[in-house]
Structure 1
Amino acid sequence: MSLVKKGVCTLLLCAISSVVAQTKIVTSNPILTDWYADPEMAIFENTYWLFPTFSGVTKKQDFIDIFSSNDLKQWTKYDKVVDPSNVKWAKDAVWAPSAIQKDSTYYIFFSANDIQTPESHWWDPKVHDSTEVGGIGVVRAKHPEGPYVDHIGKPLIGTVVNGAQPIDQSIFRDHDGTHYIMYGGWGHCNIGMLNDDFTALKPFADGSLLKEITPENYVEGPVMFYKDGHYYLMWSEGSWGRDSYRVAYGRAKSPLGPFDRIATILASNPEIATGAGHNSVLNVPGTDEWYILYHRRPIPNEHRNHRVVCIDRMYFNEDGTILPIIMTHTGVPPIPLENE
């Protein structure tokens, strides 16, 4: 069943959902015409759903828009499904959404407020404002487009652990139903297990809530997927505001690693775009077709925040290693999902 809006919603539906579907957008690469970044894609109810960061000035980046499509070409926009109206503590930047469905509920995990206090100084009154609130939050809804409500009323992870700023979270569901959360800025990556209702972290066997899995050259933006017996971890290196931004990866036999760095697979191309990074991965159900979602800086670039969301094909060698991504302006052809 598709949940994509086919026209202007009725007044009754709008009143119930508090969501307005905007005019459809038809694109190639980039797949969104406005400035967005940090894309994550999920398939819910036989529909593609795209969850990006609005790439604006930080103080004006306090909301999350989402998009839906039946074919990766025509997109419908849903405005501000997360903002200070439904997450009262998120008063500053909101970014890097990661979405997942569990049972009959949809969840969006997000970063907010860009907290800056290092772990070693958390209780030092000279550097720490005890009122500082931020980190990784989560909202929930009964439909992918919302309306969403704050799930726990506070950050799920709101302090610096193992040197990792609590940002850039990604959720991974393993074969046994375990839900892992990977996250981390400031050059450190942590992994934890979510409890059954996503209200807290669940301890590992040794009692710890988080384990550091930082690979070589890691900066931020982790994402995990599973293919042919291996867990792949991808991450961004370099500086998000510079041409050095790029994507590398490693793989392991366990979601806890170790993830030895294998190669850079996505980097600047002065003939196409620069600063390509903070990606997610799409596997079309029932196929061995894989795609990478990422943002990049168009040429010419208008501003540090001038980032756009793109999609390109991702190929694997016979040994499971990933070939370098070829950035394109054409993107991918329409890929309709098979009816359930």
Structure 2
Amino acid sequence: MKRSTLLILCFVTIFDGISLAQTPQNPTTTKATFSNPLPVQFGDPYILRTQNTYYMYGTGGGAKKGFVTYSSKDMVNWKPEGQVYFHDNKNGWSDPKAAWGGAYWAPEVYEVKRKYYLFYSAQWKVNPTRELENFRIGVAVADKPTGPFIDIAEQPVFDPGYPIIDANVFFDTDGKAYLYYSRCCYKHPVESEVADLARKKGWFEEIEESWVYGVELKPDFSGVIGEPVLILRPPVSLSNKQAEWESRSVTAQEVNRRWTEGSVTFKKDGTYYMMYSANHFGGQNYAVGYATAKLPLGPFKKATNNPILQKNTEKGGSVTGTGHNSIAYSPDGREMFCVYHARTAKTGDERVVCIDRMEVKNGTITVLGPTTTPQKLPSGAAVAVSGK
């Protein structure tokens, strides 16, 4: 048997170029499409591309009080690279025993001068008043996108005096960098017509809100320059066109909170675009809108076509909880993608990653999703060929 096998192998090797058509027992398949969700169970997904490779970071994904990453050549097929950040590194400042397991959330990684900087939020161990939500934003650095990432200081970037999450950094063309973040709803009740309605209906006694702020970063990311500027907040008036979709978690009586979080900023044709998420991340109404400005710290004006990404169950689909997005470009740079987490009827409460094409034309963002049907591979991606 061994000798026969050897002869067969030699025969195949010699005639490889002309015999493939004669070996139907080992056919090849060409996969030129993909479908959402991707095979990654993450919340708050963020994609970095460096050296022709994509790296995805997010909340969860099997991380043990830290963060893991996945890599891909085409933004569709991903392989795990293991844990890249550990809370107990030599400069770790977080509290892994705090609520939500230390709340290691929403990592984003940026490449600057051949170094990789990880921005994230977690529970700060300095907590003299024992706040349940004591989130702050930290920065860790590594020589590779796969880590290991080490905190640049034994403390958060800065302390605004209230809990903050969802760091996003924008690098402007003038060399300045800006940190955007969300002030948490925790202990932040706000009066509005929505709050009045909630009391009148007997739903809730008060409505807490989260707001997005922006502030310039020091060049070495060791702190901030100046005072944070309020960028976005939920509408005060019910007559505001944004009030309906941004208040669905309240009007659906899910929770007494209105969120403005998960922001991501980019610039195109001299206009600054800030995409953001509203409503309860754990509910069906999590959705994405955007606002535009002429300066990096605003003022920002919300778009009239909001929300641009939301559940599709009312149209016969199976996707809910679409939010906390980032953006990425196809391998050839021609196509722009919205990267977000969602839930489907099949995945249940598990957050999974989806990518859908997006367009920016004449100051308007359009996201072509959510989708679960087969889509063309991102432009420039090599078609995968595999044997049985």
**How far apart are 1:168 and its partner, in Å?**
0.6
Work out the CA distance in 1 between the residues paired with 2:133 and 2:284: 32
CA contact (8 A) 1:139 1:148 kept: yes
Q: Cα–Cα, structure 1 residues 142 and 325, in superposed 2: closer, same or farther, change >3 Å?
A: same
Alignment CA distance shift 1:275-1:261 (3 Å): same
Amino acid of the residue matched to residue 200 of structure 1? G
Secondary structure, in 3 states, of the residue corresponding to 1:98?
strand
What TM-score do the two structures reach when normalised by structure 2? Answer: 0.68
After superposition, where does 1:1-340 map in structure 2 within 5 Å?
A: 28-33=35-40, 35-54=41-60, 62-86=65-89, 88-90=92-94, 91=96, 92-113=102-123, 128-129=129-130, 134-160=135-161, 165-184=163-182, 185-186=184-185, 187-203=210-226, 208=227, 210-216=228-234, 217=246, 219-262=260-303, 263-270=306-313, 271-284=317-330, 287-303=333-349, 306-317=350-361, 319-329=362-372, 330=374, 332-336=376-380
The structure-2 alpha-carbon separation of the partners of 1:198 and 1:331, relative to structure 1 and needing over 3 Å to count, comes to farther
Percent identity among equivalent residues? 34
Q: How many Å apart are 1:84 and its aligned residue?
A: 2.1
Compare the two structures and name the one with the higher helix fraction: 2
Distance 1:323 1:73 in 2: 21
Distance 1:131 1:327 in 2: 34
Q: Can you list the C-alpha shifts for 1:149-185, whole angstroms capped at 9, x where unaligned?
A: 1111211134445xxx310111111111111110013
Closer, same or farther: CA 332–54 of 1 in aligned 2, 3 Å? farther
Structure 2 counterpart of 1:188, one-letter code: W
**CA positional deviation for 1:238:** 1.0
Larger radius of gyration: 2
Which stretch has the larger CA shift, 242-251 or 324-333?
Answer: 324-333
The aligned amino acid for 2:111 is: Q
For residue 190 of structure 1, report the CA deviation from its aligned partner: 1.0
SS in 1 for 2:365: coil
Contact 1:140 1:150 in 2 (8 A): yes
Contact 2:34 2:375 in 1 (8 A): no
Whether the aligned pair in 2 keeps the contact of 1:134 and 1:155 (CA below 8 Å) is no
CA displacement at 1:63 relative to structure 2:
1.9
CA shift at 1:288, angstroms? 4.3
Deviations 1:260-291 (A, max 9, x none): 11121000111131010000012347644211
Q: Would the aligned equivalents of 2:335 and 2:378 in 1 still touch at CA under 8 Å? A: no
Classify 1:134/1:326 alpha carbon distance in 2 versus 1 (closer, same or farther; 3 Å): closer
Structure 2 CA distance for aligned equivalents of residues 331 and 282 of structure 1: 16
Contact 1:115–1:132, Cα closer than 8 Å, also in 2? no
1:193 shift after superposition: 1.3
Per mean C-alpha deviation after superposition, the further-off stretch among 215-224 and 140-149 is: 215-224
- 1:15: which partner in 2? none
Per-residue Cα deviation, 1:58-84 (whole angstroms, up to 9, x for no partner)? xx8622111111111222212221122
Q: CA deviation at 1:326?
A: 1.9
Q: Contact 1:46–1:337 (CA<8 Å) still a contact in 2?
A: no
Q: Which 10-residue stretch deviates more, 221-230 or 44-53?
A: 44-53
Give the length in aligned residue pairs.
289
User: Using the alignment, how far apart are the partners of 2:266 and 2:381 within structure 1?
Assistant: 20
Counterpart CA distance in 1 for 2:283 and 2:171 is: 32
Residue in 2 aligned with 1:8? Answer: none
- Secondary structure, in 3 states, of the residue corresponding to 2:164? coil
Describe the superposition over 1:199-246 as per-residue Cα deviations: whole angstroms up to 9, x where unpaired.
11123xxxx3x1111244452111101111210001101111111100
Structure 1 counterpart of 2:138, which letter?
G
Q: Secondary structure at the match of 2:288?
A: strand
Please give the root-mean-square deviation of Cα atoms over the aligned residues, in Å. Answer: 2.8
Structure 1 residue identity aligned to 2:177: H
Tell me the distance in 1 between the aligned counterparts of 2:52 and 2:152. 25
Distance in 2 separating the partners of 1:215 and 1:94: 24
Partners of 1:312 and 1:332 within 8 A in 2: no
